Amino acid sequence: MGKALFITGTGTDVGKTYVTALIVKKLREAGLSSGYYKAALSGAVPAADGTLQPGDALYVNRVAKLGESAGDLVSYVYEDAVSPHLAAKLCQQPIDFARVREDFACAKERCDYLTMEGSGGIICPLRWDATQHVVLDDLVKELDLGVLVVADAGLGTINSTVLTIEHLRRREIPVRGVIFNRYVSGDRMQEDNAAMIEQLTGVKVLACVKEGDQDLDIADEVLHRLYR
Ligand SMILES: Nc1ncnc2c1ncn2[C@@H]1O[C@H](COP(=O)(O)OP(=O)(O)OP(=O)(O)O)[C@@H](O)[C@H]1O
Ligand SMILES: [Mg+2]
């Protein structure tokens, strides 16, 4: 049974998939068996034959050269670019969490280091109907995962990152670290953002990813320790 890490972000489009691909790739380059899983993806683009393309999984599969069938890396793929709970409602395909638990367990069996990407930010409703109310943080807790927070390095990140960490702590979900994305070296404000997040939360900014980076600048042992 492999170890796992959950990747959340301070919001949608913050760069979770971009950073996840660099992480999965770095683990593989260190000779480790590294895998990817996402429970629910919305905003999928249909291919010519009408099948929905799981964009995030395709991207990580390609960048990290996983050689997997992308369809095996995501449990639910929705076309509407809205929160999974609403996308599921619109196509009447609600998430069955027994299936997610099973797919997650299979993904964890197939590799030693599984990186699971979330949808949106940590408060992302996955199912909200007459029978069940499930938000992403409920799933992270149920799967017993520690979390890495991907945050934009720019203006506003102190607020969104600290709120994300405080929420995770309130839910008693372990926070393993923060990675800054779209970081600009030498930017005085961005350097201060990292220092302020560390002082306000005690959580370390473990790496900074710049626009177009092809590799993650983080020590192997620091990265490996994030997985439990
Ligand atoms: N450091 C970067 N350099 C270049 N492009 C980036 C970088 N970070 C993110 N992007 C691009 O920005 C877009 C959004 O990033 P990404 O898809 O990783 O966000 P996300 O948080 O995974 O979004 P979602 O909530 O939809 O899963 C993508 O087109 C991605 O390739
Ligand atoms: Mg993504």
Q: Report the pLDDT averaged over residues 2-13.
A: 97
Residue 35: the pLDDT is 98
pTM greater than 0.75: yes
Domains contained in the chain, CATH given: 3-225 (3.40.50.300)
Ligand closest to Cα of 21 equals 1
Q: Report the pLDDT averaged over residues 94-106.
A: 98
- Is residue 135's pLDDT more than 90? yes
User: CA 186, CA 79: separation in Å to the nearest integer?
Assistant: 40
Closest approach atom of ligand 1 to CA 212: 3
Q: Where are the beta strands (DSSP E) in the chain?
A: 3-9, 34-41, 45-46, 52-53, 74-77, 113-117, 125-128, 133-135, 147-152, 175-181, 205-209
- Is residue 1's pLDDT more than 80? no
- Strands 147-152 and 125-128, by their bridges, are unpaired
User: CA 150, CA 173: separation in Å to the nearest integer?
Assistant: 16
Residue 130 CA, ligand 1 centroid: distance in Å: 34
Residue 51: the pLDDT is 94
Q: How confident is the model at residue 136 (pLDDT cuts 50, 70, 90)?
A: very high
Spatial contact of 113 and 34, defined as CB atoms under 8 Å apart: yes
Provide long-range contacts, Cβ within 8 A and 24+ apart, for 190-197: 190/153, 190/154, 193/153, 193/154, 193/157, 193/158, 194/153, 196/158, 197/151, 197/157, 197/158, 197/161, 197/162, 197/165
Provide the residue count of the chain. 228
Catalytic residue status for 38: yes
Per-residue tokens: 131: 């029978």
Q: Report the pLDDT averaged over residues 107-120.
A: 97
Residue 134 CA, ligand 1 centroid: distance in Å: 25
Measured by CA distance, the residue closest to atom 10 of ligand 1 is 15
User: CA 162, CA 216: separation in Å to the nearest integer?
Assistant: 23
Q: Report the pLDDT averaged over residues 32-61.
A: 97
Ligand closest to Cα of 208 equals 1
Amino acid 158 reads: I
Ligand closest to Cα of 15 equals 1
Residue 171: the pLDDT is 98
Residue 44 CA, ligand 2 centroid: distance in Å: 11
Residue 218 CA, ligand 2 centroid: distance in Å: 21
Q: What is the pLDDT of residues 159-206, one digit of tens each?
A: 999 999 999 999 999 999 999 999 999 999 999 999 999 999 999 999
User: CA 31, CA 67: separation in Å to the nearest integer?
Assistant: 15
Pocket residue to mutate for ligand 1, from 10, 14, 16, 18, most atoms within 8 A of Cβ:
18
Closest approach atom of ligand 1 to CA 210: 1
- Which residues line the pocket of ligand 1, CB cutoff 6 A? 9, 12-18, 56, 120, 181-182, 209, 211-213
Catalytic residue among 16, 25, 26, 38: 38
Q: How confident is the model at residue 209 (pLDDT cuts 50, 70, 90)?
A: very high
Backbone angles phi, psi at 147, to 5 degrees: -125, 140
Task: Report the chain's mean pLDDT, rounded to a whole number.
Answer: 97
Residue 118 CA, ligand 2 centroid: distance in Å: 7
Q: How confident is the model at residue 213 (pLDDT cuts 50, 70, 90)?
A: very high
Q: In percent, how much of the chain has pLDDT > 70?
A: 100
Q: What is the pLDDT of residues 45-58, one digit of tens each?
A: 999 999 999 999 99
